[in-house]
Structure 1
Amino acid sequence: MAPSIAEAPASQIIVPVKADPGSIQEKPRVRRIIDEEGGKTTASYPNYLPTWDYAEKYPPLELFNHVDHGKDADPSFKHLLPEGSKIQKLTPTIGSEVTGIQLSKLNPAGKDQLALLVAQRKVVAFRDQDFADLPIQEALDFGGYFGRHHIHPTSGSPEGYPEIHLVHRNNNAWEFDQYLAEKNSSVSWHSDVTYEKQPPGTTFLYLLDGPEVGGDTVFVDQVEAYNRLSPAIKERLHGLKAIHSGFEQAENSRNRDGVVRREPVQNEHPIVRTHPVTGEKALYVNAGFTRSIVGLKKEESDALLGFLLAHVGRGIDYQARIRWAPGTVVVWDNRVTAHSAIIDWTTGERRHLARITPQAEQPYETPYISEEALSQP
């Protein structure tokens, strides 16, 4: 929560300055975590500490033509997983862990194969990576291969690099108690910024600081969640759309004296989304941003959406839990997964991660095909 004006450091207070006789102009504020830590910090990567520039404003996003490089990738993965590397599945349907490669050294063919692997396995953890030690622009250049960078409307970013979304928490014991004062659990399933007309696809998150134990991230396979439904429910869901809204996120930021860099939007997306590379169908609803189902009465919408969200959340047999470690980069496909951070450590360590969020195509669905039709020769 942003401090009040009375508690704010000098760099954050609104200061009237005289622009010309008879007029008063407000000096834009910049909130910096390093200022709030007294000008020095225990963060391993101070250049990644969050800042919020209250004068930073962006126009509405415009549509762009997204090219998914996974479509042309060599399925042998020879440029991504050379001899000596190791890949291990975490669960049968979702999650893999890779060692023995360096993402930042991949050539274009290797990057294409990365997009394909992540589309297939949904989330992949790469260990012993150098992402955090690269110049920030180099990390952004790598991520930009996979789509246009999304600039988050409310989150903190490294100063001068608004394309980086930061996850930052100094988890003192009292903060943990306060967080759970009105909750039984920290689980909060979401897929990133699905309110955008072109939500993210291949997404990168890398660790800067984290607790020795705790602070994991859990991912759920929305393809398998769709596959587990009965044929009658699958058929009914096809053709339905849901409203995804960013208004609540923006209002929450304003209520905490936070920033809103771009005015909020809402968009309609199909409830069943088709992946452009694998052709798999996935449930495309999440508790973070999906508000209602178009064309249904409120009671009907609440009941059906409630069932789908509960179905996703309780699917422990199609979820994967990623444990963070120094040098870890996690790459996942936001089109076919949802995820939740786990806030469970009370030992006071900083949890600090950076996300690169390339946008993808507009969500679309392909026609429903019955299991009988699929089984026909």
Structure 2
Amino acid sequence: MLSAKTIEIIKSTAPIVEQTGPNLTAHFYERMFAGNPELKNIFNMSNQRNGDQREALFNAIVAYAKNIDNVSALVGAVEKIAHKHTSFQITKQQYDIVGQHLIGTIDELLAPGEEVLAAWAEAYGVLANIFIEREEQLYQSNENLEGGWRGLRDFKLVEKKLESEHICSFVFEPVDGGTVSPFKPGQYVGIYINSDSFEFQEIRQYSLSSSVQTDSYRISIKREPDGKVSNYLHDELSIGDTVQLTSPAGDFFLDVDNTTPVVLVSAGVGLTPTLSMLETLNQHDAPVTWAHATENGTQHAFKDHINRLTANHANIDAFVWYNQPTKNDVEGADYHFTGLIDLHEIKDAVIQAGAQVYFCGPVGFMQHIARQLLELGLNSEQMHYECFGPHKVI
């Protein structure tokens, strides 16, 4: 529990910290990586270069400072970050390192004096303990599941399948021959890549793209033009090769009863978590609507698979938008609408009473979808979304 004096100091200095903008976190990361270069094996250095991680950390610091007297308002953000941290295997010692460099950064940029630094150190300590305790709960929960584990586990690649021009699926089985822990549809696993091709260890999180299996995990990865990990996995990882995975994690997951209408909305590779949900809903009693947008038929992943699911289940309807169909794409068979996804075109499926909508894709796409859902009369409690990479509020 923070003292009243600490709360007062944090609230009074929060506007000054906010005025520094992302310069604060830029200085922080430069300081931390200079002092503790081993952390480059944990942080995604690509997100450092494009500024995404710095922006996410800055927003988190400002949100915490503004809600210092009402930390319960941050429960959702804490849960999302805690899950992500378990896929990075974050430890208490690393929180200590981060705290040291955060306070050092505030001192070097703002020189606010010892009293203010002490208050920020106290506030950081309270927040760090919240994360440490929640993450320990997640570590223990994952370890205690049937087929579960703590830390890293060796998996071998047993199947590799191209699903579209840019998306490839990878199926992994544990090297020890045991079972794997169940997951909630929508969750992801952390994959650890150590290769002579990379300067540092690379860690990525990829959504599980199938329903729960007892002996394997499937992830489906888009080749990004400048994505060194995605290109490595597409080009270099071969059947029989070994990687290390963390237990499934993530606070974006299907959570409905059998009588709840579900709408799954995705664009591009954003279909990976919603596909896991769709396969799981294959026996759902209430209506299930699949709405997917992609560029054209060459980039339309899992088309035949989803068509089979739709054909075999009367309660599942699928609608597809092609932004720029090719001459080989057949309207009505391959796709139903052209241009950007417009949920008003299927509004009867979307506005069913009590419907829960799960959506995933690029941030701009999700903002586009969120606006449409609000226009159609849905409320925030019916809307659930996932951002790939550092979290953004849409």
TM-score range, shorter chain: under 0.3
What TM-score does the superposition give when structure 2 sets the normalisation length? 0.25
Greater relative contact order (CA < 8 Å, ≥ 6 in sequence): 1
Structure 1 or 2: larger strand share?
1
What TM-score does the superposition give when structure 1 sets the normalisation length? 0.26
